[in-house]
Amino acid sequence: MKYINPIELLGLASTAADKINNAVIDHAKKELLAEIAATPHQQLSYNGDLLDADTCENVIAELDNPERRSYYHIIANDYTLNGFLITGDHLTTINFEGKYIYKDPSFIRFISPYFAAAYGQTLVQAYSLTNTNAFFKNISITPLVTKEDSALIYEPLVTLLQQHQTTLQQLLRDEASYQEDDLSSAILALINRDALNVFPRELEIEKADLLEAARNAAWQLKTLRPDSGLPGDLLHYLLQIKTPTVLRQQLEKDYEQITGEKAPEYSETAFENKEPTQDLVSLAASVAQPSSGPKTGWYIFTTILTVVLLAYRLTRFFNLLNVNEPPQKHNLNQPAGQFSSGVFDNQLANGAAPLDSCLQLKPTKGPCTFKVKNPLQEDAIVCLLRKGSHRTVLNTYIQSNTEYEISGIPAAEYEIYLILGRDWDTNLPSNHCPGGFRKSPRSVLLANTLSLMGTEAKVMSLDSVKVLKEM
């Protein structure tokens, strides 16, 4: 149902509700109709729509009902709610707290069809934003709808999932015209893992249908591109989505048959209804932040160890003065460097990949190299995300005041994410991945993108990059 607010249409939102009577409405209506008659096409532009005089009169007639007049006035003065009902945007900015009217059954019956239509639209928009937590945030808000209208809120999303299945089949028919990275990005854009992991129970059938279509697509790709890693990558991605036991067992079997590797282990905690992560960005931000918790024991512990830590760091500082380490090479086809452990070992080796296990990353194969110079006073974990799908490809630890060359990278366009800090502790608790920086932790998404093609090598210095967003 199309939402048009007659109070807003007549310009009466700023008029006190008890001052809006039939005479005031008639006067405003005459002015509005005269304005419409004066336009070249006799239409009024209203929030992107063109309304003729008959449509406006029908909408304004709703104000004959005093209760509906009151409700329209309340909504017209709630900018975010009124805007949401019109566009389906900014649901999470609406403040429902402390307002009795939003709990009133009569008001809910009034707003229900409009809210259901807008809520359905916002879920569709959020599902399409694969690099955000928008879907989780929106699905967590209880919609102001009646039981009778509750089914309406999911209709647009059901339609979208059905369209995605059709699009997936079209991509497979046209696969010969796609480069592998482009095809991968196009397929993964149809399957929002984070959204599917918090999908409402009402859509379990539609979700299973989409995953089954993606599973079949993996086998079709295996036939079409027998030497490609794409079928295995797709199944690996699907295994990170909460699925019924039978479907998951089928996916695990498919993965093992296609890749020859053991499927990632199932973890119930990985699919808890909590705010999802954009493959790496949100997750990495939490790795960079020490977790909160009882501090008294920690303060006692650190007090006891103060002298030991000071002596250790002084010794390490003087040792660093004598280091003249040449650039190192790390091939992603080889095992990553080993972690240090314990609070005393406050750096990982150059080339370590501390997020591999948590993100279930596999070694990659490719012709490109990427040298990173880190002249900062902070250690860095450099993370490459596949542009478009935002899928994490690699993460590499680079110590302060050193440089490091990564090879074996697939040719593609990448976004660059940095986790920065000092004093790495592998055992530091975190909401997601274990480990983190104890000193000056921060994480940033760079405005710089990385384009690697063929055997091309690129060099980047961390003191000359541009920050797009600090997490």
DSSP 37-54: HTSTTS-EEETTEEE-HH
Residue 272 bridge partners (DSSP): none
Give dist(CA 257, CA 317) in Å, integer. Answer: 51
Determine phi and psi for 71, rounding to 5 degrees: -65, -45
For the chain, the average pLDDT equals: 79
11 within a domain of the structure (yes/no): no
Residues of the chain under the 70 pLDDT cut: 1, 98, 130-132, 266-345, 388-390, 429-433, 454, 456, 471
The amino acid at residue 425 is D
The amino acid at residue 109 is R
- Report CA 34 to chain centroid distance, whole Å: 48
Give dist(CA 172, CA 222) in Å, integer. Answer: 11
Under 8 Å between Cβ of 1 and 72? no
- Sheet containing 436-452, strands listed edge to edge, beginning at the edge strand earlier in sequence: 391-398, 379-386, 412-425, 436-452, 467-470
Helices (H), 328-402: 356-359
The amino acid at residue 346 is N
Output b/e per residue, 213-239; b: 16+ Cβ within 10 A: bbbebbeebbeeeeeebbbbbbbbbbb
The amino acid at residue 211 is L
269 within a domain of the structure (yes/no): no
Output b/e per residue, 390-413; b: 16+ Cβ within 10 A: bbbbbbbbbbbebbbbbbbbbbbb
Which H/E stretch holds residue 23? helix 22-37
User: For residue 278, what pLDDT is reported?
Assistant: 39
Give dist(CA 56, CA 359) in Å, integer. Answer: 55
393 within a domain of the structure (yes/no): yes
Under 8 Å between Cβ of 62 and 113? no
- The model carries a pTM of 0.56
Residue 406 CA: distances (Å) to CA of 83, 382, 383: 48, 10, 11
Give dist(CA 362, CA 260) in Å, integer. Answer: 13
- Report CA 279 to chain centroid distance, whole Å: 8
User: For residue 321, what pLDDT is reported?
Assistant: 39
User: For residue 431, what pLDDT is reported?
Assistant: 52
Under 8 Å between Cβ of 277 and 295? no
Under 8 Å between Cβ of 237 and 217? no
Under 8 Å between Cβ of 379 and 424? yes
Q: How many domains are there within the chain? A: 1
The amino acid at residue 397 is Y
416 within a domain of the structure (yes/no): yes
Q: What is the span of the domain harbouring residue 456?
A: 283-289+326-470
242 within a domain of the structure (yes/no): no
User: For residue 387, what pLDDT is reported?
Assistant: 77
449 within a domain of the structure (yes/no): yes
pLDDT digits (tens, 9 = 90+) for 83-94: 889 888 777 777
Residue 349: how many other CB atoms lie within 10 Å: 14
Give dist(CA 437, CA 422) in Å, integer. Answer: 6
Instruction: Give, rounded to a whole angstrom, the gap between the first and last alpha carbons of the chain.
Output: 39
The Cα diameter of the chain in Å comes to 88
216 within a domain of the structure (yes/no): no
HSE-up of residue 209 (Cα within 13 Å, Cβ side):
13
422 within a domain of the structure (yes/no): yes
Hey, what are 120's tokens?
Answer: 């359905």
DSSP 85-124: HHHS--GGG---TT-GGGG-HHHHHHHHHHHHHHHHHHHH
Under 8 Å between Cβ of 214 and 201? no
Hey, what are 133's tokens?
Answer: 């937590």
User: For residue 100, what pLDDT is reported?
Assistant: 77
User: For residue 296, what pLDDT is reported?
Assistant: 42
User: For residue 279, what pLDDT is reported?
Assistant: 40
Under 8 Å between Cβ of 421 and 438? yes
